[in-house]
Amino acid sequence: MIHNSKAIPLDTLPLVSSTVFRDAVIHAVGDGARISAFFGAPEQSLMSQAGHRGVAEKQIRLFAVLAYDASARLAILSTLIEGSYPALTPECPQAHLFERELYEQWGVLPEGHPWLKPVRFHKQYTTGQQELAPAIGVTDFFSIDGAEIHEVAVGPVHAGIIEPGHFRFQCHGEDVYHLEISLGYQHRGIEPALIGGPNKRTLHYMETLAGDTTIGHATAYAQAMEALAGCMAPPRAQALRGIALELERAANHTGDLGALAGDIGYLPTASYCGRIRGDFLNMTALLCGSRFGRGLISPGGVLFDADEDRLTRLLERLLQARKDVTCAVNLLWETPSVMARFENTGIISDEVADDLGLVGPAARASGCERDIRYDFPSGMYRFAQIPVSTWGTGDVFARAYVRWLELQRSLAFIEAQIELLPSGDISNVLRNPAPNSLAVSLVESWRGEICHVVITGAQGDCSQYKIVDPSFHNWMGLAIAMRNQQISDFPLCNKSFNLSYCGHDL
């Protein structure tokens, strides 16, 4: 059991049998824990660097990071597998995409997995140069037969300026019986590129693995490196990181609320929020020169300070944007034609949200009280709590309204941080990362929980770096939300989740 942003020596990690591992994960999830990460690493790469005994070439060590929201603890389990093991998914749906990923990356077969399809359509990490990757998008899509059943295929190139992915709908007339989402088009090979680091490229991979979540992922990385170095960023840096993370949330939530309005043809809010989103991005640029926060976060602290004058300008802009966004967003709730489209569309019950392990606003909109800032606080959130915003109806309205509640609380947090910004340095020099250790770092990004797990080798270099973007948990939620909906509601449902393709595809 460890806390968020802490490291432990790898050899203190209990190595259990695969049966115990399986039972423990299933029981823990049954008792309310969530799978934050579940991944494999070749035992040889972990052990050869640690200078331990020789191990069989094909042994893969599985790691599961289980989050206990109520007690703010993370349980880490590990086991050794060779070839195959009985799948967890039939008894634990949360594991479903993780096990597919495990099979795709390392060839470890989860026996009895009901849906063992490619996740990102790349070669197994263990195969040679000459072998070809599987053809993208070629898989056995689930299909329904019957009179008047038809199939709709959309993507990878979509109508708007958005990332690519493929959606396959099984429809009966206008009604969607099933949606299958097949991704991988954005795969850039980030995780393998991180092995052997950190180096001068590492931070930039973090900033661009999901570019709209630059602050979120860069902060998760920085926290992990600080945990491995046994040191923390100075308080002033932590406050500035908090401000940047909430500005990122404010910009994206504002953009999403505008886009939701746009999807149902309610143009006033769509127009205003499209612009106000830019105002929040420009506030981030005021801090560091980049609208997306590129170059702000660095392991050890932040690279840009903000003096009195800059903070005053930030606050002025914040108050103006708050006024504008309040006016723009409240139009939504006061307009019956908007509410008629938002309410009862794309419902996810709390039970389904829990089963799938949804995170972020999508989970909170189904009434799940789950927020890393509150449950596993790190950085400034240990001192300045943000209440968890939930709504119980699980529909598009709830996902929109939770964003609005969060946006208001983010702005209040930023305002408070500006007024109480701690004095002092903005960066500490980090010692080298501890060797043969494992660190877990969680951050509540605007889409939900980001989990980074770093395992170091004998020299303190990364022998494994696992990234779990919130979208990895939530794409299945969108598929389920579309069941028994009209296909014309897809854009609205999709926008109400607004998930990352590149964060998923890595």
Residues binding another protein (CB under 8 A)? 120-122, 133, 136, 156-157, 159-164, 184-190, 193, 200-201, 203-205, 208-212, 214, 255, 268, 271-272, 274-275, 277-278, 282, 285-292, 294-295, 304, 323-324, 327-328, 331, 334, 500-502, 505
Of the two residues 2 and 270, which places its CB atom closer to another protein in the complex? Answer: 270
Q: Which helix (H) or strand (E) holds 445?
A: strand 437-445
* Residue in 258, 256, 184, 263 with CA at minimum distance from that of residue 488: 263
CB closer to another protein out of 150 and 323? 323
> Phi-psi region for residue 120, left (φ > 0), alpha (ψ -120 to 50) or beta?
alpha
CB of 122 to another protein, least distance (A): 7
Which of the 8 DSSP states describes residue 2? B
Minimum CB separation of residue 448 from another protein in Å reads 16
Q: Which is nearer to another protein, 335 or 486 (CB)?
A: 335
Shortest separation between residue 485's beta carbon and another protein, angstroms: 22
Indicate the residue among 283 and 438 with the shorter CB distance to another protein. 283
Cβ at position 212, least distance to another protein in Å: 5
CB of 45 or CB of 290, closer to another protein: 290
User: Taking the complex as a whole, how short is the minimal distance between the CB of residue 464 and another protein, in angstroms?
Assistant: 18
Nearer to another protein, 6 or 310 (CB): 310
How far apart CA 287 and CA 306 sit, in angstroms, is 7
Nearer to another protein, 93 or 274 (CB): 274
DSSP-derived secondary structure letter, 81: E
Q: How many Å separate Cα 64 from the centre of its chain? A: 16
In whole angstroms, what is the distance from residue 236 CA to residue 306 CA?
A: 10
Can you spell out the DSSP letters for 260-303?
HHHHTT-HHHHHHHHHHHHHHHHHHHHHHS-TT-TTTEETTEES
Contact 383, 241 (CB under 8 A): no
Number of helices (H), then strands (E), in the chain: 17, 15
Q: Give the C-alpha separation, 497 to 486, whole Å.
A: 17
Cβ at position 427, least distance to another protein in Å: 12
Quick one: 13 exposed, middle or buried, by C-beta within 10 A (0-12, 13-18, 19+)?
Answer: middle
Distance in Å, CB of 152 to another protein, minimum: 16
Q: How far apart are CA 62 and CA 262, in angstroms?
A: 44
